[in-house]
Amino acid sequence: MESFAFAPAYELPSWPFTPPPELGSPRIVRHPIVIVGAGPSGLTLACDLAQRGVRAVLLDEDDTVGVRGASSRGICYAQKSLEIFERLGIYERIAAKGVTWSFGRTFSGEQEVYNFNLQANSVSRQPPFINLQQFYLEWFLVERILELGLTDLRWKSRVTRVEPLGDGVRIDVETPAGRYTIEADRLIDATGANSPIRTQLGIDAHSSRSTDRWCISDVRFKKPLPVERWTWVDAPFNEGRGVWQHLMADGVWRIDYQMPEDCDTATISQPEVAGARLRQQLGPDVEFEFVWIGPYGYRDHLLDSFRHGQVFFIGDAAHVVSPFGARGGNSGIQDAANLGWKLALALQGQAGDALLDSYDAERQPAARQNLEVTSRSARFLAPRSPAEHTLRRAVVALAARHPFARALVNTGRMSVANDYPSAPQLPEGGRTVQNLPLRWADGRETTLMQLLAEGTRCIGLWLAPTRAEAEAALAATASLPFQLLTIGGDSGLPALQADDRLTSHLGLREAGSFALVRPDAYRAALLAHASPDAIAAALRTALAQDTTP
């Protein structure tokens, strides 16, 4: 029997447990923000808050990142997430280590039926996607958090009990040095899909499990292939079932193989079985070595509300979707970016509780939309009836010849930043603003995310106002977290050069029009003919403040 080599396991970092000051003290200390869980969403939130000058306590029951054994887990980081990471100061490390891509191909058997280029409609400094093993992302976030120095990162600290209070939460923590209790004004649960906090509070996640089974192979091999996302609807080398193929950092390919529903998960992940599949795909003479092999089945859940009193749920603690199109981890990262600035302004006394409520009003519908998209992908890749099989065969056959059918080939709609529905803080809904390269009137270059990295405030972009209008708008918004920039004109304020890409992307069509961009790079308001009073009113609405001037 052929033997298969495993590459040396990654050397994951570990951080020391430091006994916290509360140990052995009879006094219960109250912290403004406590985050539980140092996965992508919890670390992103802690980093986001620290970047805004906000202190938080972050508790995690482990002392490292990723999963011991070096599985890749999440790998695809979408443009919106990459833009967030530029603001947080780790994008360059991600880009240097990861694999950038924008092009994907879909095959049926040996025939290519569809391809896409996600770069085509992008105006962002960041690419559509970078592939990077999840533990690297977490590693970079931890190092950035330590560099910023405002987060009390407590390793080997397991939360054993939470007790909601009228004005906060009491938290029992178990450590190698003993147990202690702290309180938090606000607790953020980022403990993942099996959240013990959610379970203890008795919150129904409406969970369901799929019978669809897959097996991941993280593998290195010596065969030159394009740096593209390849998907097979019915791969001939996998008994007519689905396959995904991506390149990650360190020359490791992530290949997901769809398995029979009644498969034995231990058997399908044995090296000799996985190796036989790989031989069918790559050919008999290709040298390869496994980094990790593991089976998985899909599950999903969605909380009715992402806020329960002073407990907020983010990432997989709030929602789980099938891993089609990388909508899980990216959604958790974007949960954190949505909540971070709202917590910061609330702590600074510049926003009220209604702004914190808007986290659920925006991110719960986004999660529901992602769940609907991934559920459709699951049905396409694993039809549940002869009629669904017939429909899929017809769609695939038509897609090779007719553009209209290509939109129906659903092998995983790739993650995009969700639009937000109309709400009290977003009367016309919210739309993401890409990280546009910008140029000041004097020729200096910047980006939207670089501007948003400086403090916590909304940015107003006003197309060619008069000097008097600009001065009046500054006076009307003087007490609010706001920076006013003009595009062109002669207002006397900091001005950006007029650029068709910028004005078109923001929706600014004529002189006097105005776009309000929130700290999370979402457009909160678009005024066709702005006035100082209208700008101030739009800003107060976005911040959930009294709109009376």
Q: How many helices (H) and strands (E) does the chain have?
A: 15, 27
pLDDT average, residue stretch 42-55: 98
CATH topology of domain 31-97+131-208+300-381: FAD/NAD(P)-binding domain (3.50.50)
Per-residue pLDDT reduced to its tens digit, 414-469 = 888 999 999 999 999 999 999 999 999 999 999 999 999 999 999 999 999 999 99
In angstroms, the Cα distances linking 160 to 21, 59, 200 are 19, 12, 9
Give the 3-state secondary structure of residue 288: strand
* Whether pLDDT at 77 is above 70: yes
Nearest Cα neighbor of 317 from 191, 175, 139 is 191
Q: How confident is the model at residue 8 (pLDDT cuts 50, 70, 90)?
A: low
Alpha helices in 238-352 (DSSP H): 265-268, 271-282, 329-347
Nearest Cα neighbor of 465 from 443, 444, 495 is 495
The predicted pLDDT at position 88 comes to 98
Per-residue pLDDT reduced to its tens digit, 249-258 = 999 999 999 9
Q: How confident is the model at residue 549 (pLDDT cuts 50, 70, 90)?
A: very low
Percent of the chain predicted with pLDDT > 90 = 75
Instruction: Give the helix/strand (H/E) hosting 184.
Output: strand 178-189
Residue indicated by tokens 């959240």: 195
Specify burial of residue 443 (Cβ count, 10 A radius: 0-12, 13-18, 19+): exposed
Tell me the whole-structure pTM to 2 decimals.
0.95
Highest mean pLDDT among 74-78, 206-210, 289-293, 523-527: 523-527
Secondary-structure breakdown of the chain: helix, strand, coil percentages, each rounded to the nearest 5: 30, 30, 40
pLDDT average, residue stretch 11-26: 93
pLDDT average, residue stretch 508-522: 97
Domains 31-97+131-208+300-381 and 431-542 fall in the same CATH topology: no
* Whether pLDDT at 92 is above 70: yes
The predicted pLDDT at position 319 comes to 96
pLDDT average, residue stretch 152-163: 98
Highest mean pLDDT among 69-83, 289-303, 355-369: 355-369
The predicted pLDDT at position 482 comes to 97
Contact between residue 480 and residue 486 where contact means Cβ atoms under 8 Å apart: no
CATH, domain range 431-542: 3.40.30.10
Q: How confident is the model at residue 548 (pLDDT cuts 50, 70, 90)?
A: very low
Q: How confident is the model at residue 296 (pLDDT cuts 50, 70, 90)?
A: confident
Where on the phi/psi map is residue 349: left (φ > 0), alpha (ψ -120 to 50), or beta? left
Q: Where are the domains of the chain?
A: 31-97+131-208+300-381, 431-542
Q: How confident is the model at residue 410 (pLDDT cuts 50, 70, 90)?
A: low
In angstroms, the Cα distances linking 38 to 62, 63, 322, 336 are 9, 10, 21, 12
The predicted pLDDT at position 1 comes to 38
Of 372 and 408, more confident: 372
The predicted pLDDT at position 281 comes to 95
196 half-sphere exposure, CB direction, 13 A CA radius: 13
Instruction: Look over the chain and give the mean of its residue pLDDT values, rounded to a whole number.
Output: 92
Per-residue pLDDT reduced to its tens digit, 351-396 = 989 999 999 999 999 999 998 888 877 777 777 778 887 888 888 8
Looking only at the bridges linking them, the beta strands covering 229-235 and 103-108 are: parallel
In this structure, which amino acid lies at residue 265?
Answer: T
DSSP 8-state symbol, 41: H
Q: How far apart are CA 331 and CA 110, in angstroms?
A: 33
Where on the phi/psi map is residue 449: left (φ > 0), alpha (ψ -120 to 50), or beta? alpha
Strands (E), 98-167: 99-101, 103-108, 111-117, 129-131, 151-154, 158-165
In this structure, which amino acid lies at residue 309?
Answer: G
- Cα 6 to chain centroid, rounded: 31
pLDDT average, residue stretch 279-308: 92
The predicted pLDDT at position 4 comes to 60
Distance, first Cα to last Cα, the chain: 79
Of 255 and 403, more confident: 255
Per-residue pLDDT reduced to its tens digit, 134-143 = 999 999 999 9
Q: How far apart are CA 18 and CA 5, in angstroms?
A: 39
pLDDT average, residue stretch 315-327: 88
The predicted pLDDT at position 22 comes to 95
The predicted pLDDT at position 9 comes to 63
